[in-house]
């Protein structure tokens, strides 16, 4: 998945805010946000798959 310029800027801003407000090591902040994004994407993909199963009425078959 390609990351848009807007997403990249938002990610950088989150890292800077996390580092500045919480006094967290910047690398740790980047790592945490990267992992959180992976989890968010995984839930999104799982949700789409569940909706497709529901729409095809194959859930529980």
Where exactly are the structural domains of the chain?
5-56
pLDDT digits (tens, 9 = 90+) for 23-40: 777 788 788 888 988 999
61 has pLDDT over 70: no
5 has pLDDT over 80: yes
Residue 58 CA neighbour count, 13 Å, CB half: 6
Residues in CB range of 30: below 8 A, 6 or more apart:
15
pTM of the model: 0.56
Query: What CA–CA distance (Å, rounded) separates 58 from 61?
Result: 5
């Amino acid at each position: 998945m390609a990351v848009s310029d807007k997403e990249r800027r938002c990610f950088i801003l989150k890292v800077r805010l996390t580092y500045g407000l919480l006094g967290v090591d910047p690398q740790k902040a980047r790592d945490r946000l990267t992992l959180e994004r992976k989890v968010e994407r995984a839930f999104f993909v799982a949700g789409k798959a569940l909706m497709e199963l529901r729409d095809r009425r194959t859930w529980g078959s």
